[in-house]
């Protein structure tokens, strides 16, 4: 008498052979032309269900039958693939292959609303994908999505928001082939791309080292609905900026980067020169609030300064800086890269700007001592020239501003020069970034603790310290490993309410070994909630 186990094995053996024979027969029915008949499709679906039932039983058997299970999975995978729709094929391919309608594939179960969200994430770059030229049909996600299948194409084409970000840059490969940066085919693609965006607001970024007149002609009718414009050009393409004469009723953000503009004959080297008219095309932008300029001065453009809220750009003359603040009465944020500045004649009366809250400078400039910024909350600087610390100290002292964040990303200053800068804002500081060395570290740490005459920055919650001490001197130890630093940090974590609780500490020592002892000592504070970070490279605090 057969046992239940032997009966199951016998039944499974028969069943598996039948399944194998069926699967092989289906392979034979494909014939030379690779087509499936309606009966083949019906049989494949029935056999798929049978194979799934087989798998349930096979999973209960010992591992000796594992090879049967693997064979069944292989057949199931093959049959599932045969029932899945393929991308649109060419006329030649249709003679050999056949795909089922989209509605019969697993992917068709995704609602259109889900597809729309996925497409938006892909195109917006939220999935970490690289940004591609929108005219690159092989890599730009907009075009790729719309060529997967008819359903995806229909969804993509019906979504104007999917086509509202226009990013164009030179095709270096194409230039190497025929030297033409913008072919007729690309012009047609750009027109089609803009047509699909319907009347939705546009974000345009154009980067070219060549004549971009054709780009301009196609984009011109759509400038009225642009909210963001970003141009990166050089002397070969800057002529286009002079030809812009339309209104920008919706423009909010403008960025212009010009390479080697000082060598371009139409732009005067001295911004005070009137030999060349300014670019006035952006003066008719009633909602423009953010402007970023690189390689081009504010005197080269006619801008609606009174309405600007944010400005980033190059400054080469002191009076440029002053005029910017005088004209831009609503300005809240300014990031200025100071170049070579000629001698400066101080103002007889300092100028007061009542709205500026954030000021970031690449280097100090004498004219800042003639500014009064009573609303300033964030100040950052990367370089201080000889005597420049006096200008910064005067700015902070005379402005009497509620400065919350001070980021001195400059080489370590002696305490005698650093103290006049810190004292005026000591009572309001909550975030401080500072650099020290062997000569200044002890004084700074004492000032930040009770060992000083009075505690500096009692409201401090975030501290960034970069120790520029070099390990070339074997007799100088990194300040992070010394007691003054650790005592200061521990005290600010447990001062019984004398000062604010330190919440974040960042240490940086680019020229010295890792301070293992200090990091080990701070482990206890990390457990209590202090955020501790360490960088062994030349780290700087950014706004």
Q: What is the pLDDT of residue 265?
A: 40
Q: What is the pLDDT of residue 68?
A: 66
Three-class SS state of 207: strand
User: Which residues lie closer than 8 Å to 434 by C-beta, 6 or more apart?
Assistant: 408, 418, 444, 464, 465, 466
Q: What are the residue ranges of helices labelled H in 95-219?
A: 112-124, 141-145, 150-157, 172-178, 184-196, 213-219
- Taken in order 522, 527, 533, 536, the sign of the CA dihedral is positive
**Is 19 inside a domain boundary?**
yes
Query: Which run of H or E residues covers position 52?
Result: helix 38-58
Q: What is the C-alpha to C-alpha distance for residues 154 and 147, in angstroms, rounded to an integer?
A: 10
**Is 516 inside a domain boundary?**
yes
* Domain end point (choices 107, 142, 176): 107
Q: What is the C-alpha to C-alpha distance for residues 210 and 182, in angstroms, rounded to an integer?
A: 9
**Is 151 inside a domain boundary?**
no
Range 447-455, long-range pairs (CB < 8 A, 24+ positions) = 447/415, 447/419, 447/422, 448/488, 448/492, 449/484, 449/487, 449/488, 449/491, 449/492, 450/491, 450/498, 451/484, 451/487, 455/498, 455/499
**Is 200 inside a domain boundary?**
no
Q: What is the C-alpha to C-alpha distance for residues 188 and 210, in angstroms, rounded to an integer?
A: 19
Report CA-CA distances (Å) from 266 to 213, 232, 277, 292. Answer: 17, 18, 9, 21
Residue 105 has a CB neighbour count (10 Å cut-off) of: 16
Q: Which domain holds residue 24?
A: 4-107
Backbone angles phi, psi at 425, to 5 degrees: -115, 10
* Domain end point (choices 64, 81, 107): 107
Q: 112-124 vs 150-157: helix axis angle to the nearest 10?
A: 70
Q: What is the pLDDT of residue 277?
A: 64
The domain tally of the chain equals 2
Phi-psi region of 399 (alpha: psi -120 to 50; beta: other; left: phi over 0): alpha
pLDDT-flagged residues of the chain (< 50)? 1-5, 7-8, 19, 23-24, 26-28, 31-32, 64, 93, 95-99, 128, 176-178, 262-275
Q: What is the pLDDT of residue 273?
A: 46
**Is 279 inside a domain boundary?**
no
Three-class SS state of 236: coil
**Is 331 inside a domain boundary?**
no
**Is 122 inside a domain boundary?**
no
Q: What is the pLDDT of residue 179?
A: 52
**Is 23 inside a domain boundary?**
yes
* Domain end point (choices 107, 126, 160): 107
DSSP single-letter state for residue 369 = G
Phi-psi region of 422 (alpha: psi -120 to 50; beta: other; left: phi over 0): alpha
**Tokens describing residue 372:** 């009064």
Q: What is the pLDDT of residue 159?
A: 84
Q: What is the C-alpha to C-alpha distance for residues 273 and 492, in angstroms, rounded to an integer?
A: 55
Tokens 């154009």 — which residue? 206
Q: What is the pLDDT of residue 396?
A: 94
Answer for the pair 258, 234: CB distance below 8 angstroms, yes or no: yes
pTM of structure? 0.73
Answer for the pair 325, 356: CB distance below 8 angstroms, yes or no: yes
Buried b (16+ CB within 10 A) or exposed e, 205-230: bbbbbbebebbbebbeebbebbbbbb
Q: What is the C-alpha to C-alpha distance for residues 230 and 165, in angstroms, rounded to an integer?
A: 11
């Amino acid at each position: 008498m057969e046992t239940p186990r032997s009966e199951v094995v016998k039944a499974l053996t028969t069943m598996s052979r039948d399944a194998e024979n069926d699967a092989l027969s289906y392979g034979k029915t494909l014939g030379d032309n690779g087509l499936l008949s309606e009966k083949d499709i019906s049989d494949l679906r029935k056999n798929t269900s049978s194979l799934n039932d087989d798998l349930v039983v096979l999973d209960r058997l010992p591992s000796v039958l594992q090879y049967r299970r693997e064979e069944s999975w292989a057949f199931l995978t093959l049959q599932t693939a045969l029932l899945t729709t393929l991308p649109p094929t060419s006329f030649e391919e249709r003679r050999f292959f056949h795909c089922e309608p989209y509605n019969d594939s697993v992917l068709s179960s995704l609602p259109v609303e889900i597809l729309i969200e996925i497409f938006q994430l892909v195109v917006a770059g939220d999935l970490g994908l690289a940004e591609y030229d929108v005219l690159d049909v092989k890599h730009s996600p907009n075009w790729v999505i719309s060529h997967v299948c008819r359903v995806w194409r229909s969804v993509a084409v019906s979504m104007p928001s999917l086509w509202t970000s226009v990013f164009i840059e030179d095709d270096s490969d194409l230039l190497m082939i025929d030297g033409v940066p913008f072919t007729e085919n690309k012009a047609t693609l750009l027109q089609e791309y803009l047509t699909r965006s319907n009347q939705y607001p546009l974000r345009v970024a154009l980067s070219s080292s060549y004549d971009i007149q054709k780009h301009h002609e196609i984009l011109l009718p759509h400038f009225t609905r642009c909210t963001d414009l970003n141009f990166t050009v050089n002397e070969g393409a800057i002529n286009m900026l002079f030809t812009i004469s339309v209104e920008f009723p919706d423009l909010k953000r403008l960025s212009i980067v010009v390479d080697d503009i000082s060598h371009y004959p139409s732009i005067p080297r001295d911004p005070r020169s009137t030999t060349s008219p300014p670019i006035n095309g952006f003066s008719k932008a009633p909602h423009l609030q953010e402007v970023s300029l690189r390689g081009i001065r504010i005197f080269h453009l006619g801008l609606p300064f009174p309405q600007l809220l944010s400005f980033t750009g190059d400054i080469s003359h002191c009076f440029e800086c002053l005029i910017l603040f005088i004209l831009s009465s609503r300005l809240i944020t300014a990031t200025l890269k100071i170049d070579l500045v000629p001698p400066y004649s101080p103002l007889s009366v300092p100028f007061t700007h009542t709205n500026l809250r954030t000021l970031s400078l690449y280097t100090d400039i004498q004219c800042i001592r003639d500014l009064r910024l009573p609303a300033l909350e964030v100040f950052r600087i990367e370089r201080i020239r000889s005597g420049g610390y006096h200008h910064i100290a005067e700015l902070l002292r005379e402005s009497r501003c509620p400065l919350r964040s001070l980021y001195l990303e400059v080489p370590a200053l002696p305490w005698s020069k650093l103290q006049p800068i810190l004292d005026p804002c000591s009572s309001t500081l909550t975030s401080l970034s500072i650099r020290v060395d062997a000569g200044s570290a002890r004084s700074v740490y004492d000032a930040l603790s009770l060992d000083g005459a009075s505690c500096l920055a009692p409201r401090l919650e975030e501290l960034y310290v970069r120790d520029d001490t070099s390990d070339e001197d074997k007799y100088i130890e990194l300040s992070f490993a010394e007691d003054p630093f650790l005592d200061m940090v521990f005290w600010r974590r447990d001062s019984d309410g004398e000062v604010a609780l330190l919440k974040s500490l960042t240490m940086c020592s680019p020229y010295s070994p890792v301070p293992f002892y200090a990091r080990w000592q701070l482990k206890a504070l990390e457990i209590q909630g202090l955020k501790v970070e360490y960088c062994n490279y030349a780290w700087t605090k950014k706004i």
